């Protein structure tokens, strides 16, 4: 298949659904790690097409949602520092921190600017040599190499007023942490297609080896997702756990070695704080010694105040797949995309926003107990 429409062909979708129905005979639980998959599943009504034997859970795969409040508070505090321009991707703007948000800080006079790439942030630094330009570095393995490249470019161009707050996260260790917690019994995982394009499908081999769980790497169109679910159902029924690459037009076993090389040239692996999961060893990226002068944590000393979570918000449980948005008392009543209480409702890839936008009143209550 070559064109997008072919990945949305209704007759092929019907065939795949029929194959899934025929193959799936016992109850199984599948988690899609990635927020883009979550949106695709909801947008195309995939949950409603599946047999009652298959329960789909959404995982922590939205970088905005998993950014810990303490880290967001720190970024907001830096944005309020004199001479600072804080650059960020747009999704972070409205996420409520403990006491404020970047949007409110901007309304209060902080210079917060939305950029579409790290190279835009670098240009802001070039254009404002007398200001301190900080880029809020959130994202998984897909984004981190581009941020590493911006640091290398800053070094090459001798830009001395560019800093990155590295809040990057690595996805396999978080998946391990969710499985190790034992809170969610999972039979299969739909692995993140974009992330795996960078890290390679080999990075998920620990799932069948250490946990006896199958993992399918899938693309994001409806046929991609249905094919992924069929593959998982097949492996689970056959009791043959393995990693399957159903996104071979993008993913290779070894990943993108050039991107990984850039990423690990600038960053090294460290612990990271995940909303809802807590501190996960070896799940983040910190600056290597050589590039520490670009590290916003080294340059600024700020007091963001005590960390608070929004009362009643279950984002942490939603991120771990332990609760669904309708199980949150604030969902739809108080918390909506226009008035988000937690990050899962702010982000376009957040589970709560996906439920709100696509699930419909009837389908929000379809989670099997």
Chain contacts with ligand SF4 (rule: CB under 6 A): 313-315, 318, 325, 328, 330-331, 335, 341-342, 344-345, 352
- Minimal distance in Å, beta carbon 71 to ligand SF4? 17
The rounded radius of gyration (Å) of the Cα atoms in the chain is 21
- Minimal distance in Å, beta carbon 363 to ligand SF4? 16
**Which are the contacts of 76, defined by CB distance < 8 A and separation ≥ 6?**
97, 99, 100, 101, 102, 105, 304
Nearest C-alpha neighbor of 81 from the set 53, 114, 105: 105
- Reported in sequence order, the residue ranges of 20-156 that DSSP labels E, i.e. its strands, are 28-34, 54-61, 84-88, 111-114, 132-137
- Minimal distance in Å, beta carbon 29 to ligand SF4? 20
Nearer residue to ligand SF4 within complex by CB, 148 or 313 = 313
- Minimal distance in Å, beta carbon 247 to ligand SF4? 29
Nearer residue to ligand SF4 within complex by CB, 222 or 343 = 343
- Minimal distance in Å, beta carbon 330 to ligand SF4? 4
Q: Which residue is nearest to ligand SF4 (CB)?
A: 342
Rounded distance between C-alpha atoms, residue 248 and residue 234, angstroms: 19
Nearer residue to ligand SF4 within complex by CB, 31 or 121 = 31
* 13 neighbors 226 (Cβ within 8 angstroms): yes
Burial 254-275 (b: 16+ CB within 10 A, else e): ebbeebbebbebbbeeeebbbb
Rounded distance between C-alpha atoms, residue 235 and residue 215, angstroms: 9
Nearer residue to ligand SF4 within complex by CB, 266 or 313 = 313
Number of Cβ atoms within 10 Å of the Cβ of 183 = 11
- Minimal distance in Å, beta carbon 288 to ligand SF4? 35
Nearer residue to ligand SF4 within complex by CB, 17 or 322 = 322
Nearer residue to ligand SF4 within complex by CB, 284 or 342 = 342
């Amino acid at each position: 298949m070559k064109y997008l429409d072919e990945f949305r062909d209704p007759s092929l979708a019907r065939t795949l659904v029929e194959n899934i129905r025929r193959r799936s005979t016992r109850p199984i639980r599948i988690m899609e790690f990635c927020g883009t998959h979550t949106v695709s599943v909801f947008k195309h009504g995939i949950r409603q097409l599946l047999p009652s034997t298959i329960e789909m859970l959404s995982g922590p795969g939205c970088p905005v949602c998993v950014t810990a409040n303490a880290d967001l508070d720190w970024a907001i505090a830096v944005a309020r520092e004199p001479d600072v321009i804080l650059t960020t991707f747009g999704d972070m703007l409205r996420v409520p921190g403990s006491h404020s948000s970047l949007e409110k800080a901007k309304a209060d006079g902080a210079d917060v600017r939305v950029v579409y790439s790290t190279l835009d942030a670098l240009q802001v630094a070039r254009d404002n040599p007398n200001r301190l330009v900080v880029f809020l570095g959130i994202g998984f393995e897909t984004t981190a190499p581009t941020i590493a490249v911006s640091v290398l470019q800053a070094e090459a161009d001798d830009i001395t007023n560019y800093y990155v707050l590295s809040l990057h996260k690595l996805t396999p260790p978080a998946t391990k942490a969710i499985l190790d917690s034992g809170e969610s019994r999972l039979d299969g995982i739909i692995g993140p297609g974009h992330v795996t394009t960078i890290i390679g499908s080999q990075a998920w081999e620990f799932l069948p080896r250490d946990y006896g769980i199958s993992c399918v790497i899938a693309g994001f169109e409806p046929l991609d997702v249905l094919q992924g679910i069929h593959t998982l159902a097949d492996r689970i029924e056959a009791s043959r756990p393995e990693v399957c690459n159903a996104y071979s037009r993008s993913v290779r076993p070894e990943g993108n070695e050039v991107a990984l090389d850039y990423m690990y040239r600038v960053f090294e692996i460290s612990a990271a704080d995940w909303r809802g999961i807590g501190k996960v060893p070896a799940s983040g990226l910190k600056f290597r010694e050589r590039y520490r002068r670009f590290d916003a944590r080294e340059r600024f000393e700020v007091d963001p105040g005590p960390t608070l979570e929004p009362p009643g918000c279950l984002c942490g449980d939603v991120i771990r797949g332990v609760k669904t948005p309708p199980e949150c008392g604030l969902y739809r009543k108080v918390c909506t995309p226009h008035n988000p209480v937690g990050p899962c409702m702010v982000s376009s890839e957040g589970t709560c926003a996906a439920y709100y936008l696509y699930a419909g009143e009837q389908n929000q209550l379809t989670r099997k107990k």
